[in-house]
Each structure stands twice: as C-alpha cells, then as structure tokens.
Structure 1
C-alpha cells in the first residue's frame, strides 16, 4: 500500500509498505481523512524524527473506518466510523515518530481497546470534519488550561484552526463575549461565521482601545492606564508582540494562555506586570481532551466544517503538505481518501 514518509530534510515521498497484519487483539483501520498539521512541516524540515530519521511516516490527524476486527476485540464492528487517539498506540505516536502514519491507506491498532485508542462516531459526520478531532482536542486543552468561568470575556489572538477551535470551546464553557484578533480579513470573517461576538483587525485597528470599548475599562488603583476588562487572553498566533501586548492591557487578575509555538524567546517586563497579578499558563497536546471534544464536534459539525479551507485527495497528499507549508496559501488542509 502507499504511504507518505519524510525521507530526508525537506523531502517527503511516496513509499510502498506492506498492509498491516491483524492479530486477535488488533483492529485494522481504513483511513478516510487526515488533516495536515504545522508540525508535519517541522518533521519535514528536520528530516524526520529519531529513531526513524530519514524514514518517518506522516499523518496524525485521522478519521477512519473499521476494516477488520481481531477475534478477541469487543465493542467494535467492521464499518464503524471512528476518531483516534494518536498518542495511545503501542508502537509509538501515530504520525509523530511512531511506526505508522495516517497518510497511508491502512493503519493497525495493536491491543485495541474501544474508548482508549478509538471512539465510534455517527456515520453522518463528514470524514474531513471527523479528522479535526485531534487538533480540536489541542484547542480544547488550551481552553481548559485557562480555566474559564461562565460569563467570562475572552480574547483570542489568531484565527487559524486552533484559535477557531478555542472559540468553539470557550462558547461551550459559557463565555459571555468572545473577540478574535487577526491580520487577515478572510479569517476574521470566518471567526464571525463560527460565532465570535466581535473581531479586530490588528493591522489597522488599535487593539487596546477597541477592547476597552468591547469589554469595558479594566483599570484600577493598582493597575492604571488603558486596561481592558477582558478576563482571558489566548495566544493562538505565536506572534512575538502578543504576550507583551497582553501584559500592557490586562486588568488585575486576568489570565494569558499560550498554545501557539513561539520560535524565538519572548521578552516580558516582569516589573510592570507584577501589579496585574497576571496568570500565564501554557498548553500543549491533549492529556484528557481527545474524546471530550468529540461530542461537541458531533453536535456542531457544521460550524467545525467552516474551519477547513482546502480538501485534496490522497493521491495529492504531497501537494497537500506543500500547500499547508506555504504561508498565507491555506488555513486548514485535509486529505480525503474517497
């Protein structure tokens, strides 16, 4: 069968591999869709992940159909539609340094346990939307790390897939007003379609002044100046200016969550931040959220579908990887196997 591998620095190629054999405790999955992640570009740039440097299978945002069930596996049937915990494979992280990747026709789940690696979903959920389950779990973990309370006012920097997923996550947790900040008008329009209460184009608007207008004046005796009444800020963009911007406009007791990858050190003036008692938290992966987010996707799949910008067939998977790596060319690319 065909699969996509990183075979060297900045080199992705088709590789012919054997279809996995299925034992009595295993489940064979026919991959039906797989999203392209920013980390796929990083894996490509460095030539793969040790110990499989030069031969790393790609694809860690899959949705699949059960193709074969081992004799000793209960709770799954051929034809079931499933989403997958790619971190629960016994042969390594699926598509992130493990023995298998989801940019291939089939994947085998060794020692399969329904509810641990796999969750069955309704068959009316489009495959490309089901493939959002993994990145949306990342977004939900970022939401959970900021510990939102019903009625909180939230600002999300970055209207990419994680930022938009966080928008849906904060709405689910009862946020009263959500603002999305970005530089690209089409992304801001999509944020409004998905449910943002307001958007700010930081290229031509004064973010601080606009947030005071939207979330009220958060200044106090201890924290003076232009301060927003925002309760939670989430950095889903990774622009170096964002943490300092938040520190300069946050009210006392606000929270800043960082889910974006910052590729360079960020400088913060702790002296000026001290009086704000700003809480800064970081979020990575999805310790508990991989199937927690699934129910919301099932209930609101039409909104999640808006996050997808491009769908390419499996025979164009290399083009999909290149498209996703091109700045400004696409927001969320999903490979489909129909």
Structure 2
C-alpha cells in the first residue's frame, strides 16, 4: 500500500455524507486488510445518511463509516491469522465489528480493516469465476436467506414478499434457488417487478393496479376460518416497511401462517392480536447478524448461479462518482442494487 491516506465515506449528520481523508489501515494481531474492489449501496446506508446516524435520535459523537456489502483482495495479514494470505480474493461477512453499521470500519473506501479475521466466519475465499461484484451480493442475499430460515420455508410453501427493492429481489433469488415456485412479490415500481419476474417470481404484482390480497387469492388460493376470509399463503416476508402492506398481509393470513419482518419500520404498527391468537399466526423479526453459515450458503449459490443474478445489479459506478451513485441508489424508479467499484483495485 503506497498511499498513507485514503478517502472513506462517513456520515457527519442528517443528509451530510463526506469522503474524508483517513489513514490507510495496518493490520494488528488477528486482522487482515482488504483492498476493496466492489461495495454495494444498501438501503440502510441511505437511511444512515438521511437520519444522520444509526437511529437519528442521538447526535453522532464521531463520524459514522458506511459500507458493508463488499469483496476484494487481501492486502496484508496480521499475526495469528491462519488460512488466509495476501493476494486471496475474498468476500467479507460484516457482522463482526459491525462493519458499516456502527463499528469503526466502513467498506466505502479503497482499503478496510477486518477485525477477528477467521476463515469461513468473517472472511470467505472466492472461486476464480466469481466476480467481486457478484461476491458483494452475498451480504444482501444472506439477509433474504436468514428470513427464509427464520420461517422454516420449504420449497413447496407459497410465499409472498412485500417490496421489490434489493432485499426483496434477493429473497426471490434465494427462494428460487432452493426450488420454491409459488413466489409472489408486490411493489409499485414496475421496473423492479420486471426484475423479480426474471429472477423467478411467479407473480409480480403492481399494487397500484391490483390489490395485494385479491392477487394472492388468485395466485395462492383463498379460504375462510371463523367466518373471516384468508389467503392460502404459507409465509409472508416484509421487505417493504409499509404499515399498510403489513397490516393487509396480517389481516389476510391463514391458520398458522408465518410472517417475518425484515424491513425497518420507523413507527409502531397496530396489528389485530385477536386474529393472531385465533389463527396462531407466527410473526418474527429477522435481522441478519451472526450469520456466517447463511453467508457461506449465499456465496455457494453465487458460485453456482452467478449469471442468473445479473438482474439484481442495475448500476456500476466508480468510487470517484460516489455522490452520483448515491443519487441513483435513492431513485427507486431507476435502480435496484447499485455497486461501487474500485477500478485500481480490481483483479
């Protein structure tokens, strides 16, 4: 590493994100330095910028580094690290140290320190045919997989996904990879719904054209219990964060339906607890942490089916065009996953 300083994307306050010059990291014991080649822009990154921090309640005591969906090449290895070597192409599970999510490191930078570097836990070698941009999808794909596993979804289950943003689309891809066929997804953005169709959704419904419950009744079937109608959907995965969509799903859920909330709801949502009791509806949160196994499964899927995941990435921007990339990622009409690339670091 020739340079002594590098740019790092950090949030300083609401709507205030800057590329700050910071020292290039050096590895301490148990750490590796990764030369970043690709880093996805996540909805949570945009949320941190808009809110001015993780929750927007307390002012930041120091700038917040962002970027947690990334892959690159190991540049340096600290003492005590086994199974990893300089020059290895890798993807990184950001859970340890909360990379880009409250910790001291962020991957929207040419180099990043990975603390607790452990083969198959935090750092995962890449097959030669997997590109860095594909590998950077392992993080959002593992978010979708974690929700699937939280609900115990099997290939024969009928699944509805609320929201066709990047996480919703990644969830479609993971469900299709495991053999699920009765996949429905709902959104208002037709371009994202078209991506969902290509990725394997059997129903991609624009709720401005047809109500969600009506579409599910046609696609999954409908029934009645205790005089109340329901749809035959086995599992709902909320990737939208829309109170209206969640309450509609809850109100139409059948006996022993399962619901996972992946999206960030900024305000409390009122749910019909009588219906929850009477229909034994299971509702669970799903936040992907401590998910080394799911991360590895996502990378294995990428290695098998990487070309089929092309619809997930809508744009590639060089890191030099950071602010333009953020503007594009914030436009739901034109973007899915926006990927930052580091031309000088690609190999």
TM-score of the alignment, normalized to the shorter chain, above 0.5: yes
Aligned to 2:114: 109
Distance 1:286 1:23 in 2: 24
State the shift of 1:71 in Å.
5.4
**Could you say which residue in structure 1 is the equivalent of 2:83?**
75
Structure 1 moving runs of 4+ over 6 Å = none
Answer whether contact 1:48 1:54 (CA < 8 A) is retained: no
Alignment of 1:189 with 2:194, yes or no, is yes
CA contact (8 A) 1:7 1:53 kept: no
Equivalent position SS for 1:291: helix
**What residue in structure 2 maps to residue 40 of structure 1?**
45
1:121 aligns with 2:129: no
- Choose the corresponding residue for 1:65, options 58, 73, 80: 73
Pair 1:99–1:178, CA change in 2 (3 A): same
Contact 1:146 1:232 in 2 (8 A): yes
3-state SS of paired residue (2:223) = coil
Q: Partner of 1:334: helix, strand, or coil?
A: strand
Q: Cα deviations across residues 38-62 of structure 1 (Å, max 9, x unaligned)? A: 2222322343468963422221111
Distance 1:323 1:264 in 2: 26
The answer to whether 1:240 aligns with 2:248 is no
- Would the aligned equivalents of 1:13 and 1:318 in 2 still touch at CA under 8 Å? no
Q: Would the aligned equivalents of 2:197 and 2:204 in 1 still touch at CA under 8 Å?
A: yes
Give the conservation status (yes or no) of the 8 Å contact 1:101–1:107: yes
Quickly say closer, same or farther: Cα 1:103–1:213, change in 2 above 3 A.
same
Deviations along 1:209-262, whole A, 9 cap, x unmatched? 322222123324x3533x221111111111111122112322212112211111
* Structure 2 gap segments, 5+ residues each: 1-5
Aligned twin of 1:318:
323
Q: Is the 8 A contact 2:74 2:87 kept in 1?
A: yes
TM-score (norm 2): 0.88
Distance of 1:247 and 1:84 partners within structure 2: 36
Per the normalisation by structure 1, the TM-score is 0.91
Aligned partner of 2:3 in structure 1 is none
Native 8 Å contact 1:152 1:174 kept in 2? no
Q: CA deviation at 1:188?
A: 1.2
Alignment RMSD, CA only?
2.1
Aligned to 2:314: 309
Who is 1:299 aligned against? Answer: 304
How many matched pairs? Answer: 333
1:37 to partner: Cα distance: 1.4
| 1:14-33 equivalence runs, <5 A | 14-23=19-28, 25-33=30-38
Mapped partners of 1:114, 1:252: distance in 2: 43
Do the aligned residues in 1 keep the contact of 2:181 with 2:201 (CA within 8 Å)? Answer: no
Distance in 1 separating the partners of 2:153 and 2:159 = 9
Distance 2:112 2:214 in 1: 51
Matched, 1:290 2:295: yes
